[in-house]
Amino acid sequence: MSTHAQPTTVRGTAGPNAGHENKEVGQDRKAKTQGRWAATLILPTVIVLGIVIVYPVVNAIIMSFQQDEGLDPVTGSFVAGGFAGVANYVHWLFQQCPAPDGGTTACSPGSLGAQFWSAMGTTFFFTVVTVVLETVLGFWMAIIMARTFKGRSALRAAVLVPWAIPTAVTAKLWFFIFAFDGIANKLFGTAILWTGSEGPARTAIIIADVWKTTPFMALLILAGLQMIPAEVYEAAKVDGASAWQRFTQITLPLVKPALMVAILFRVLDALRMYDLPAIMTGGANGTTTLSILVVDQIRQGFNSAAALSTITFLVIFLVAFIFVRFLGANAVQSATGPGKGKGK
Amino acid sequence: MKARLNIAAAALIVGAIALSGCAGGTPAASSAGGGDAANGLNDRGPITYVQGKDNSNVVRPLLDKWNALHPDQIVTFKEQSDNADQQHDDLVQRFQAKATDYDVVDVDVVWTAEFAAKGWLQPLKDTMAVDTSKMLPATVKTATYKGTLYAAPQTSDGGILYYRKDLVPTPPKTWDEMMGMCSIAKANNIGCYAGQFAKYEGLTVNVAEAINTAGGTIVGEDGKPTLDTADAKTGLNNLAAAYKDGNIPTEGITYQEEQGRQAFEDGKLLFLRNWPYVYNLAKADGASTVKDTFGIAPLPGKDGPGASSLGGHNLAVSVYSKNKATAKDFLAFMTSEETEKFYATQGSLAPVLTSLYDDPALVAQLPYLPVLKTSIENAVARPVTPFYPAVTKAIQDNAYSAIKGEKSVDAALADMQNAIASAGSQ
């Protein structure tokens, strides 16, 4: 953008006399008014972010230290619970539930509190397995799509279809496919109860998730692949590098920034997986993820749910931090522009 | 250093977006609403009626009729989604905001106690009293919390037994008799019995039926769990044993209402526990192979008809409503005999008025009514407790494990008992 355009607009707002002033003073004031002007322009965004992000987060954290409403045994109506300290966090992390005598006791199976660690395990299991599968398959699809051949654009469009379908619809489709009388069993001539026990239920969800999100990985990786200049490959060929060497020595290192960002996005997405297990199994048979647990808890008490979502938030934050800090997923710096690659 | 801070900040924002998606609702300031309940009792004016998706278009014609008669007290229809959880959450949000724009609300029978305990529903007593003497007692019980009526029963629903009359000439009266007939199913190479045994609300309905039929209860009058009885054990054991013996087919634990109906219509089941809606479909569906070969009967019990769980909806008045006199009249209008008849014929929704079950014209149109009447007369409401979400969760998780045989019936009932007790002592 031309720097000459800005003073005009700034002076225009500063008043008709602005143009007559000493040049140095003008520079000074320009910087000042420009700063103010910039702040004014940014303000709406800050306010919106404050309303949609800061307020709910702060409110959730405040709520997480309040006790859920309890029932007054005499009147039979609910009364506010008051300050709870860290009781809600203890409830989840140590699986302690209220006991009839007023104290706490280990949560019984069938209560949400008893499911925290298993839900955490399930969530990470799904995250690791689906992201690994999606990365490998996505890479493979991206390499095919990067080649020049007839019908390439048709293939690229076709690959996008699963990603374009809303997840809830996808989940319902796979729900019918994996029903006992569904296509999956008919096709393979099996009689598996896909949603009836842990192994098959998890497999079914992983298949559905990989089907849906591999195109997303493929497209992000494809974008990375297309940044690599063809000359590098030609030079390597001249030097006698094999196809495998070209892949490991050129493609992988050069595509890594794009790949890490893609993996980061997928990991964060997978950690809050909700719709697929919620619709396909309803969380039965070891498929309850943290998000499903949060939504279930919302119906049983907001404050406890706020504590749980704060824990989920911290977990996701930690994972994102590790990715960005130690594994070099450069989502931040490339987003801020010229600083790209500076930190290395 | 600065870059590191940026990274941390960015990661924080990413996580924060995830969190802000989760945080819902505000801390409830739960004053029981004594003041609100006394407001607007004699006021009249326009009101809003809130209900889930009106699939068979019964509400709008009724509102047109009302509005023509009461031009100064127009009722506007607010239609919610067709998903019960979403309807529940929408109502909770509006009530927490003390919104005055929801006057008369349609609540599922299992939400009534929760909403009443939160102080959101107008007690239907004194000037707001509603005549329930002509209604089926079990339906009135679903609308009653701590001895006070909080809603007017409007539609009901009960489970009935569908059976293959070409294979079983007389339907079984008791559970044991039915299990005895399973050899007929085996001889014909079809499944014997199915209900709704997937892990969802339907499982609670079926387990409650099994336990109530055996003479047990899930929660007592005081809201405390009562699952440590021999009767409760017999009830759950009936289901677990049937699954173990193969009398409930293996795929039965994935069945919701529709999968069971499909299997029955395909001729793969001898007995099916389901709601009355299946009747017309099984008679008329092109794909149904049992059109002329199925019959209906009350659920089998211990020595008589079984104890069905109740479905259906109640109508309640919000305590925040400004025109409660109009709301009360509207309640009476919506539960009148004429309206109930319209609901039954137009929407196939079971009436709550005892007299309609014997109405010859109605029975001609809905042949399942007499059987349904027996079912509802013997029905038991699902646990009436303000902690219903926690109670149903405890039942589903533990009963599912017990039926699958992953857990003994004793352990499942003990865990159920503890989880319900814990939920009730918050």
* pLDDT reported for residue B25: 39
Residue B176 included in any domain: yes
Q: Which residues of A touch B25 (CB under 8 A)?
A: 298, 302
| Residue B107 Cα, gap to closest chain A Cα (Å) | 15
Find out whether B292 and B213 touch, Cβ atoms under 8 Å: no
pLDDT at residue A80, as a whole number: 84
Residues 6+ apart with CB under 8 A from B166: B293
* Separation CA B386–CA A300 (nearest Å): 10
Show residues of chain A in contact with B191, CB under 8 Å.
none
With beta carbons less than 8 A apart as the criterion, state whether A267 and A329 touch.
no
Nearest to B254 among A195, A291, A336 (CB): A195
Q: How far is B10 from chain A (nearest CA, A)?
A: 7
pLDDT of A1 > 60? The answer is no
CATH numeric code, A116-301: 1.10.3720.10
Q: What is the pLDDT of residue A331?
A: 58
What is the predicted pLDDT for the residue at A15? 45
Q: What is the value of pTM for the model shown?
A: 0.83
**Shared domain check, B342 and B246:** no
CB contact under 8 Å between B395 and A294, yes or no, is: no
Beta-carbon separation of B419 and A111 below 8 A: yes
User: In whole numbers, what is the pLDDT of chain A averaged over residues?
Assistant: 85
B416: Cβ contacts below 8 Å, ≥ 6 apart: A108, A110, B225, B227, B394, B395, B398, B399
B194 beta partners:
B272
CB contact under 8 A, B397 and A109: yes
Whether residue B137 is found in the same domain as residue B162: no
Residues of chain B neighbouring A192 (CB-CB closer than 8 A): none
Overall number of domains in chain B: 2
List, as ranges, residues 225-254 from B with C-beta within 8 Å of A: 250-251, 253-254
CA angle B392, B397, B400 (to 5 degrees): 110
Q: Note whether B347 and B408 are same-domain residues.
A: no
Distance of CA A182 to the CA centre of its chain: 31
Q: What 3-state class would DSSP assign to B369?
A: helix
* Residue B305 shares a structural domain with residue B322: no
Q: Judge: B425–A99 Cβ closer than 8 Å, yes or no.
A: yes
Examine the domain organization and report whether B148 and B215 are in the same domain. no
pLDDT, one tens digit per residue, over A12-68 is 444 444 445 555 556 677 777 788 888 999 999 999 999 999 999 999 999 999 998
B133 with B115, same domain? Answer: yes
Which range marks the domain in which residue B396 is found? Answer: 158-309+384-423
B120 plus B256 within the same structural domain: no
Q: Minimal Cα–Cα distance from B265 to chain A, Å? A: 13
Among A61, A105, A108, the residue to mutate for chain B (most B Cβ within 10 A): A108
Confidence (pLDDT) at B326: 94
Shortest CB distance from B393 goes to which of A296, A302, A310?
A296
* Statement to judge: residues B188 and B297 lie in one domain: yes
pLDDT of amino acid A10:
42
Alpha-carbon distance A197 to nearest alpha carbon in chain B (angstroms) = 9
The position carrying tokens 């609670």 is B204
Pick left, alpha or beta for residue A149 (phi over 0 → left; psi -120 to 50 → alpha; otherwise beta): beta
- B371 to chain A, minimum CA–CA distance in Å? 31
Mean pLDDT of all residues in A324-344: 55
Contact B276, B348 (CB under 8 A): yes
Among chain A residues, CA nearest to B22: A309
Counting Cβ atoms within 10 Å, is residue B246 exposed (0-12), middle (13-18) or buried (19+)? Answer: middle
In angstroms, the CA B407 to CA A119 distance is 20
- Which residues on chain A are in Cβ contact (under 8 Å) with B89? 298-299
pLDDT higher than threshold 80 for residue A255: yes
The residues spanned by each domain of chain A are: 116-301
pLDDT for the residue numbered A4? 45
In a domain, B294, yes or no: yes
**In the block, residue with structure tokens 């211990």:** B302
- Residue whose token pair is 């009967």: B297
Best CA proximity match to A257, nearest among A344, A320, A170: A344
pLDDT at site A102: 77
Instruction: Give, to the nearest 10 degrees, the angle between helix A302-326 and helix B2-22.
Output: 150
DSSP 8-state code for residue A66: B
Both B219 and B102 in one domain: the answer is no
- Same-domain pairing of B131 and B169: no
CB contact under 8 A, A179 and B259: yes
Q: What residue of B is the nearest CA neighbor of A307?
A: B23
Residue B26 covered by a domain: no
Q: Which of A111, A271, A272 has the CB atom closest to B390's CB atom?
A: A111
Under an 8 A CB cutoff, do A317 and B15 touch? yes
A79 to B21: CB separation less than 8 angstroms, yes or no? no
pLDDT of residue A13: 44
User: Is ipTM strictly over 0.90?
Assistant: no
Residues B202, B297 share a domain: yes
B89 contacts A299? CB cut-off 8 A: yes
DSSP string across B327-354: HHHHHHHHTSHHHHHHHHHHH-PBPSBG
| CATH number assigned to the domain comprising residue B63 | 3.40.190.10
Chain B hits for A291, CB-CB cut-off 8 Å, are: 22
Q: Pick the residue of A299, A315, A323, A330 with the most B CBs within 10 A to test the interface with B by mutation.
A: A299
Q: What are phi and psi of B240, to 5 degrees?
A: -60, -45
Question: By the CB < 8 Å criterion, does B29 face chain A?
Answer: yes
Q: Is B253 close to A196, i.e. CB distance below 8 A?
A: yes
- In the block, tokens 């700034």 appear at A10
Q: Which residues, in sequence order, are bridge partners of residue B152?
A: B315
What residues of A are in contact with residue B400 (Cβ under 8 Å)?
Answer: 284
Contacts with A174 (C-beta within 8 Å, 6 or more apart), sequence order: A204, A207, A208, A211, A276, A280
pLDDT, tens digit, 9 for 90 and up, residues A150-197: 888 888 888 889 999 999 999 999 999 998 888 999 999 888 888 888
Rg for chain B, CA atoms, rounded: 23
One pLDDT digit (tens) per residue for chain B, 426 residues: 445 555 555 555 555 554 544 444 333 333 444 578 888 888 899 999 999 988 788 899 999 999 999 999 999 999 998 888 889 989 999 999 999 999 999 999 999 999 999 999 999 988 899 889 999 998 999 999 989 999 999 999 999 999 999 999 999 999 999 999 999 999 999 999 999 999 989 999 999 999 999 999 999 888 889 999 999 999 999 999 999 999 999 999 999 998 999 999 999 999 999 999 899 889 888 889 999 999 999 999 999 899 999 999 999 999 999 999 999 999 999 999 999 999 988 888 899 999 999 999 899 988 999 999 999 999 998 888 889 999 999 999 999 999 999 999 999 999 999 999 988 876
- Cα of B250 to nearest chain A Cα, Å: 8
Question: Looking at B57-123, which runs of residues are DSSP E strands?
Answer: 75-79, 104-108
Q: Is the residue at B9 inside a domain?
A: no
Q: Does B349 touch chain A (CB under 8 A)?
A: no
Q: Does residue B136 sit in helix, strand or coil?
A: coil
Kindly state whether residues B271 and B419 are assigned to the same domain: yes
Which residues of chain B does A105 touch, with a Cβ-Cβ cutoff of 8 Å? 418, 422
| Whole-angstrom distance, CA of residue B14 vs CA of residue A340 | 19
Residues 93-122 of chain B with CB under 8 A from chain A are 116-119
